Amino acid sequence: MSAARIVTAALLSLAASLPASAQERRLPASQAEIKLSYAPIVQTVQPAVVNVYAAKVVQNRNPLLEDPVFRRFFGVGPQPEQIQRSLGSGVMVDASGLVVTNNHVIEGADQVKVSLADKREFEAEIVLKDSRTDLAVLRIKNSKEKFATLELANSDELLVGDLVLAVGNPFGVGQTVTHGIVSALARTQVGITDYQFFIQTDAAINPGNSGGALVDMTGKLVGINTAIFSRSGGSQGIGFAIPANMVRVVIASAKTGGKAVKRPWLGARLQAVTPEIAETLGLKRPSGALVASVSKGSPSERAGLKVSDLIVSIDGFPVDDPNAFDYRFATRPLGGAAAIEVQRGSKPVKLSISLEVAPDTGRDEIVLTARSPFQGAKIANISPALADDLRLDPSVEGVVVTDLADDAPAAGVGFQKGDIIVAVNNKRIAKTADLQSITNESFRLWRITLVRGGQQINVTLGG
């Protein structure tokens, strides 16, 4: 038997001996073990990692051609269209053809294709998009084939220093494998998504790797590669992956046929503990999540959570900051309860919070069409579910902008998704019908009060 075959046989024997729940952690016992290869793991993983191609049609926008007088004078017809393409990676997570990738890879796409490691290409449809986690789920169209898949690991079992492989399609060169270690866990200050609790790795990740697999030495998926820290645009050894436990929640929602991810509703606003607050509370270091407000009728209120409570753990996991709590709470399974430990004054208090979805009734979502600064904006009443989804303060009374097209007049004057319209021309706006009614009137000036990012803004616009 050749030396290469002996090494391969040893690797297969080693892989078979690894425990199912977690990879074995030990130093190489001999020079021969140092020469072992990752090839058996890669051969298992590669068929389940795909390339994702997304395309959308956009119009070339020339300000002169948008002027109706210019177009009429020069007889210019419709503006030409062009196709914008994006490239990323994905992971097959169900044999029926379910693929998970990053939301930013397919955002706004009119057409999505998936290419397998064997070069076969399939049309795919978008099943679910979740901007809060930057994850999306695709389904291969019209295929009865059983595809290779990756099993999801329990990402809570990862340790800093564990070996990992990153598999994806960087720069469109084709499927590529890089290796490294877990550099850090629970990175919460990255600023990429709402749920910040990233795995950091030094495995080389580059543009095109987004949506690809981060796997452990058992060949299980521990994360979805989603971003890099780079000054040059290329890999500098700092990559971030969404943990598999969050990926699992998004996949579960997609499998039930939902268009949105179902998560537990806390019904409370949390704030970070600053050094000043820590000193006031008598803490040795600034850690935990401080309760800033509690919504009426929410699971938090029913559980007995109070303003100024300091959340220090959830289901036995320590809480260092609000981002860590949000991740832990969002990955709890619906239907049960979460065990929360808080510090109330100088006393520890244990609470049990019901894991249920936020009610989403009475939105009355409409698009404003009358000529006004709000023309083209989609607005809704603030339901608990909408407040939770858009990270709004549910105690603010008003209607919220839920969407607006780039070419909508409302976007042109500066309105943004998530703006809460509180008053217009000194009239309080309590529901969508109030704002719709006032936009049917003509005003020389529009005096608007809105809340954006928790800050009240007063704006005056010409009619």
Q: Catalytic residue among 210, 235, 298, 300, which?
A: 210
Pairs from 106-109 (Cβ < 8 Å, separation ≥ 24)? 106/52, 106/54, 106/136, 106/138, 107/131, 108/56, 109/54, 109/55, 109/56
* The residue type at 155: S
Does 287 participate in catalysis according to the annotation? no
**Structural contact between residues 185 and 142, judged by C-beta atoms closer than 8 angstroms:** no
Q: What is the DSSP string of 338-406?
A: EEEEEEETTEEEEEEEE--PPP------EE--SSSTTTTEEEEE--HHHHHHHT--TTS-SEEEEEE-T
Is 115 assigned a ligand-binding role in the annotation? no
Alpha carbons within 13 angstroms on the beta-carbon side of residue 374 total 34
**Structural contact between residues 221 and 214, judged by C-beta atoms closer than 8 angstroms:** yes
Distance CA 155, CA 162 (A): 12
Helices 244-255 and 322-330 cross at an angle (nearest 10°) of 40
Does 434 participate in catalysis according to the annotation? no
Owner of token pair 């000036």: 445
Is 209 assigned a ligand-binding role in the annotation? yes
Q: How far from 243 is each of 152, 185, 200, 227, CA to CA, in Å?
A: 10, 9, 10, 13
Rg of the chain over Cα atoms, rounded to whole angstroms, equals 26
State the maximum Cα–Cα separation within the chain, in Å, rounded to a whole number.
90
**Structural contact between residues 305 and 351, judged by C-beta atoms closer than 8 angstroms:** yes
| Sign of CA pseudo-dihedral 35, 36, 42, 45 | negative
Is 179 assigned a ligand-binding role in the annotation? no
Is 245 assigned a ligand-binding role in the annotation? no
The burial class, CB within 10 Å (0-12 / 13-18 / 19+), for 254 is buried
Q: Catalytic residue among 86, 104, 300, 321, which?
A: 104
Element (H, E) at 247: helix 244-255
Does 393 participate in catalysis according to the annotation? no
Q: Catalytic residue among 89, 115, 130, 134, which?
A: 134
Q: Residue positions in the annotated binding site for substrate?
A: 104, 134, 208-210
Q: Residue positions in the annotated binding site?
A: 104, 134, 208-210
The residues annotated with a catalytic role in the active site are: 104, 134, 210
